[in-house]
Chains A and B, each alone.
Chain A
Amino acid sequence: KAGVTQTPRYLIKTRGQQVTLSCSPISGHRSVSWYQQTPGQGLQFLFEYFSETQRNKGNFPGRFSGRQFSNSRSEMNVSTLELGDSALYLCASSPLQGSYGYTFGSGTRLTVV
Protein backbone atom coordinates (compact mmCIF):
# COMPACT_ATOMS: atom_id res chain seq x y z
CA LYS A 1 0.00 0.00 0.00
CA ALA A 2 1.56 3.28 -1.10
CA GLY A 3 2.05 5.92 1.56
CA VAL A 4 1.28 9.63 1.45
CA THR A 5 3.02 11.18 -1.55
CA GLN A 6 4.02 14.82 -1.59
CA THR A 7 5.42 16.66 -4.58
CA PRO A 8 7.74 18.30 -5.16
CA ARG A 9 10.22 17.30 -2.45
CA TYR A 10 12.19 20.52 -2.69
CA LEU A 11 11.27 23.96 -3.94
CA ILE A 12 13.06 27.31 -4.06
CA LYS A 13 10.97 30.42 -4.62
CA THR A 14 11.53 34.17 -4.52
CA ARG A 15 9.80 36.53 -2.12
CA GLY A 16 6.49 37.72 -3.51
CA GLN A 17 5.92 34.67 -5.68
CA GLN A 18 3.27 32.06 -5.06
CA VAL A 19 3.65 28.31 -4.75
CA THR A 20 1.44 25.23 -4.99
CA LEU A 21 2.24 22.00 -3.18
CA SER A 22 0.58 18.67 -3.89
CA CYS A 23 -0.42 15.75 -1.70
CA SER A 24 -1.77 12.34 -2.68
CA PRO A 25 -3.22 10.52 0.35
CA ILE A 26 -3.14 6.82 1.04
CA SER A 27 -5.65 5.02 -1.15
CA GLY A 28 -9.01 5.03 0.62
CA HIS A 29 -8.12 7.87 2.96
CA ARG A 30 -10.53 10.74 2.57
CA SER A 31 -9.18 13.29 5.04
CA VAL A 32 -6.08 15.36 4.33
CA SER A 33 -4.41 17.71 6.81
CA TRP A 34 -1.51 20.07 6.28
CA TYR A 35 1.15 21.07 8.79
CA GLN A 36 4.04 23.50 8.69
CA GLN A 37 7.31 22.53 10.40
CA THR A 38 9.97 25.13 11.24
CA PRO A 39 12.86 25.08 13.72
CA GLY A 40 11.40 28.05 15.58
CA GLN A 41 7.69 27.27 15.70
CA GLY A 42 7.78 23.48 15.45
CA LEU A 43 4.86 21.62 13.91
CA GLN A 44 1.77 23.75 13.39
CA PHE A 45 -1.61 22.81 11.96
CA LEU A 46 -2.63 24.62 8.79
CA PHE A 47 -5.96 23.07 7.73
CA GLU A 48 -7.90 19.87 7.17
CA TYR A 49 -9.95 18.89 4.16
CA PHE A 50 -12.60 16.20 3.92
CA SER A 51 -14.98 15.58 1.04
CA GLU A 52 -13.55 18.56 -0.84
CA THR A 53 -14.46 20.94 2.01
CA GLN A 54 -12.20 22.68 4.48
CA ARG A 55 -13.30 21.39 7.89
CA ASN A 56 -10.81 23.02 10.20
CA LYS A 57 -8.26 25.81 9.93
CA GLY A 58 -5.25 26.76 12.01
CA ASN A 59 -3.99 30.22 12.88
CA PHE A 60 -2.33 31.18 9.60
CA PRO A 61 -2.91 34.24 7.39
CA GLY A 62 -5.19 34.11 4.38
CA ARG A 63 -2.15 33.79 2.10
CA PHE A 64 -2.26 30.09 2.97
CA SER A 65 -5.06 28.24 1.24
CA GLY A 66 -5.84 24.79 0.04
CA ARG A 67 -8.28 22.59 -1.76
CA GLN A 68 -9.20 18.98 -2.12
CA PHE A 69 -10.30 17.19 -5.26
CA SER A 70 -12.92 14.48 -5.69
CA ASN A 71 -10.19 11.79 -5.63
CA SER A 72 -9.07 13.12 -2.19
CA ARG A 73 -5.83 14.55 -3.56
CA SER A 74 -5.07 17.93 -2.05
CA GLU A 75 -3.11 21.02 -2.91
CA MET A 76 -2.04 23.90 -0.76
CA ASN A 77 -1.15 27.31 -2.06
CA VAL A 78 0.87 30.08 -0.51
CA SER A 79 0.65 33.49 -2.17
CA THR A 80 2.94 36.50 -1.81
CA LEU A 81 5.70 34.41 -0.27
CA GLU A 82 7.68 35.79 2.65
CA LEU A 83 11.08 34.66 3.93
CA GLY A 84 9.37 33.31 7.04
CA ASP A 85 7.36 30.88 4.92
CA SER A 86 10.50 28.78 4.46
CA ALA A 87 9.59 25.49 6.08
CA LEU A 88 8.89 21.82 5.66
CA TYR A 89 5.25 21.44 4.66
CA LEU A 90 3.78 18.12 5.70
CA CYS A 91 0.63 16.46 4.53
CA ALA A 92 -1.12 13.81 6.61
CA SER A 93 -4.00 11.59 5.57
CA SER A 94 -6.49 9.65 7.64
CA PRO A 95 -9.40 7.40 6.72
CA LEU A 96 -12.16 9.74 7.89
CA GLN A 97 -12.63 13.23 9.17
CA GLY A 98 -11.90 13.30 12.86
CA SER A 99 -10.32 9.85 12.93
CA TYR A 100 -7.24 9.20 14.99
CA GLY A 101 -4.91 7.54 12.53
CA TYR A 102 -2.81 10.15 10.76
CA THR A 103 -0.07 9.06 8.32
CA PHE A 104 2.38 11.75 7.28
CA GLY A 105 4.19 12.16 4.00
CA SER A 106 7.86 13.09 3.79
CA GLY A 107 7.03 16.71 3.13
CA THR A 108 7.95 19.45 0.71
CA ARG A 109 10.93 21.57 1.73
CA LEU A 110 10.16 25.16 0.65
CA THR A 111 12.92 27.74 0.68
CA VAL A 112 12.03 31.38 0.05
CA VAL A 113 14.92 33.61 -1.01
Chain B
Amino acid sequence: QQQVKQSPQSLIVQKGGISIINCAYENTAFDYFPWYQQFPGKGPALLIAIRPDVSEKKEGRFTISFNKSAKQFSLHIMDSQPGDSATYFCAASNSGSARQLTFGSGTQLTVLP
Protein backbone atom coordinates (compact mmCIF):
# COMPACT_ATOMS: atom_id res chain seq x y z
CA GLN B 1 0.00 0.00 0.00
CA GLN B 2 3.05 2.23 0.31
CA GLN B 3 3.97 1.85 -3.35
CA VAL B 4 4.01 4.62 -5.93
CA LYS B 5 3.92 3.32 -9.51
CA GLN B 6 5.55 5.45 -12.20
CA SER B 7 5.42 5.22 -15.98
CA PRO B 8 6.94 5.24 -18.50
CA GLN B 9 10.38 3.96 -17.56
CA SER B 10 11.94 5.98 -20.37
CA LEU B 11 10.72 8.73 -22.65
CA ILE B 12 12.18 10.35 -25.76
CA VAL B 13 10.75 13.68 -26.88
CA GLN B 14 11.70 16.15 -29.58
CA LYS B 15 12.76 19.64 -28.57
CA GLY B 16 9.67 21.80 -28.13
CA GLY B 17 7.42 18.82 -27.46
CA ILE B 18 5.43 17.93 -24.37
CA SER B 19 6.77 15.34 -21.93
CA ILE B 20 4.21 13.53 -19.78
CA ILE B 21 5.07 11.25 -16.86
CA ASN B 22 2.41 9.47 -14.84
CA CYS B 23 2.23 8.15 -11.29
CA ALA B 24 -0.37 6.24 -9.30
CA TYR B 25 -0.61 5.55 -5.58
CA GLU B 26 -2.70 3.42 -3.24
CA ASN B 27 -2.21 4.91 0.21
CA THR B 28 -4.90 7.50 0.88
CA ALA B 29 -2.84 8.82 3.82
CA PHE B 30 -0.43 10.47 1.37
CA ASP B 31 -0.89 14.22 1.49
CA TYR B 32 2.05 15.68 -0.38
CA PHE B 33 3.14 14.81 -3.91
CA PRO B 34 6.47 16.20 -5.13
CA TRP B 35 8.37 15.66 -8.34
CA TYR B 36 12.15 15.49 -8.31
CA GLN B 37 14.66 15.93 -11.12
CA GLN B 38 17.99 14.14 -10.94
CA PHE B 39 21.03 14.67 -13.13
CA PRO B 40 23.90 12.14 -13.21
CA GLY B 41 26.18 12.53 -10.22
CA LYS B 42 23.71 14.73 -8.36
CA GLY B 43 21.05 14.21 -5.76
CA PRO B 44 17.36 14.67 -6.59
CA ALA B 45 16.23 18.30 -6.74
CA LEU B 46 12.68 19.35 -5.97
CA LEU B 47 10.95 20.51 -9.14
CA ILE B 48 7.35 21.10 -8.15
CA ALA B 49 4.91 19.72 -5.59
CA ILE B 50 1.18 19.57 -4.98
CA ARG B 51 -1.23 18.93 -2.14
CA PRO B 52 -4.36 16.81 -2.73
CA ASP B 53 -6.75 19.73 -2.27
CA VAL B 54 -5.55 21.19 -5.57
CA SER B 55 -6.16 19.61 -9.00
CA GLU B 56 -3.42 21.41 -10.90
CA LYS B 57 -0.30 23.43 -10.17
CA LYS B 58 1.86 25.20 -12.72
CA GLU B 59 5.36 26.60 -12.34
CA GLY B 60 6.89 27.86 -15.55
CA ARG B 61 7.00 25.02 -18.07
CA PHE B 62 6.18 22.39 -15.42
CA THR B 63 2.62 21.42 -14.48
CA ILE B 64 1.32 18.80 -12.06
CA SER B 65 -2.16 17.43 -12.68
CA PHE B 66 -3.72 15.63 -9.71
CA ASN B 67 -6.74 13.31 -9.75
CA LYS B 68 -7.63 12.45 -6.16
CA SER B 69 -10.49 10.05 -6.98
CA ALA B 70 -8.29 8.06 -9.35
CA LYS B 71 -5.26 8.35 -7.05
CA GLN B 72 -3.14 9.47 -9.96
CA PHE B 73 -0.92 12.44 -10.67
CA SER B 74 1.20 13.45 -13.60
CA LEU B 75 3.97 15.81 -14.60
CA HIS B 76 3.74 17.74 -17.85
CA ILE B 77 6.82 19.48 -19.22
CA MET B 78 5.85 21.97 -21.90
CA ASP B 79 8.27 23.11 -24.62
CA SER B 80 10.75 20.41 -23.57
CA GLN B 81 14.42 21.37 -23.94
CA PRO B 82 17.60 19.27 -24.21
CA GLY B 83 18.59 20.64 -20.80
CA ASP B 84 15.52 18.88 -19.36
CA SER B 85 17.13 15.51 -20.14
CA ALA B 86 17.35 13.87 -16.71
CA THR B 87 15.68 11.26 -14.56
CA TYR B 88 12.38 12.32 -13.01
CA PHE B 89 10.93 10.80 -9.86
CA CYS B 90 7.47 11.22 -8.48
CA ALA B 91 7.07 10.79 -4.77
CA ALA B 92 4.46 10.85 -2.06
CA SER B 93 4.66 11.66 1.60
CA ASN B 94 2.44 10.46 4.39
CA SER B 95 0.75 12.88 6.72
CA GLY B 96 1.85 13.41 10.31
CA SER B 97 5.16 14.22 11.93
CA ALA B 98 6.89 10.97 10.95
CA ARG B 99 7.17 11.85 7.30
CA GLN B 100 9.04 9.90 4.69
CA LEU B 101 9.09 10.11 0.92
CA THR B 102 7.97 7.06 -1.05
CA PHE B 103 9.43 7.35 -4.53
CA GLY B 104 8.34 6.05 -7.90
CA SER B 105 10.84 4.05 -9.94
CA GLY B 106 11.90 6.98 -12.11
CA THR B 107 11.59 8.04 -15.74
CA GLN B 108 14.65 8.65 -17.89
CA LEU B 109 13.74 11.60 -20.12
CA THR B 110 15.75 12.35 -23.26
CA VAL B 111 14.95 15.50 -25.22
CA LEU B 112 16.40 15.41 -28.71
CA PRO B 113 17.72 18.68 -30.19
A residues with a Cβ closer than 8 A to B are: 4, 33, 35, 42-45, 48, 55-56, 58, 90, 92, 97-107
Residues on B lying within 8 angstroms of A by beta carbon are: 32, 34, 36, 41-46, 49, 89, 91, 93, 96-106
In the complex, the chain B residue whose C-beta lies closest to that of A107 is: B43
Whether A42 and B106, one on each chain, are in contact in the complex, defined by CB atoms closer than 8 angstroms, is yes
B44→A104 contact, CB < 8 A: yes
Task: Tell me if B100 and A104 are in contact (CB < 8 A).
Answer: no
The answer to whether B97 touches A105, judged by C-beta atoms less than 8 angstroms apart, is no
Q: How many A-B residue pairs have CB under 8 A?
A: 57
Minimum Cβ distance to chain A for residue B4 (Å): 10
B97 CB to closest chain A CB (Å) equals: 4
Q: With the chains together, A45 CA to B4 CA distance in Å?
A: 13
What's the Cα separation between A104 and B38 when bound, in Å? Answer: 10
Give the chain A neighbours of B93 by CB distance below 8 A: 100
Query: B96 → chain A, closest Cβ, in Å?
Result: 7
Contact: A55 with B98, CB < 8 Å?
yes
Query: Within 8 Å CB of B98, what residues of A?
Result: 48, 55-56, 98
Which residues of A sit under 8 angstroms from B100, Cβ to Cβ? 33, 45, 48, 56, 58
For B91, the closest partner residue in chain A by CB is A43
Q: How far is the CA of A92 from the CA of B46 in the complex (A)?
A: 11
Given known contacts A42-B106, A43-B103, A100-B32, is B45 in contact with A55 (CB within 8 Å)?
A: no
Taking a contact as CB atoms closer than 8 A, the residue among B43, B49, B96, B105 that contacts A104 in the complex is B43
- The distance from the CB of B51 to the nearest CB of chain A, in whole angstroms, is 9
Chain B residue contacts of A4, Cβ below 8 A: 43
Contacts of A58 in B (CB 8 A): 100
Q: Which single residue of chain A is at the shortest CB-CB distance from B45?
A: A104
Known: A35-B101, A43-B89, A102-B46. 14 other contacts (CB 8 A): A4-B43, A42-B89, A43-B103, A44-B103, A45-B101, A48-B99, A58-B100, A90-B43, A97-B99, A100-B32, A100-B34, A100-B99, A101-B46, A107-B43
- Docked complex Cα distance between A23 and B53 (Å): 34
Residues of chain B contacted by A44 (CB below 8 angstroms)? 103
Measured CA separation A92–B91 after assembly (Å) = 14
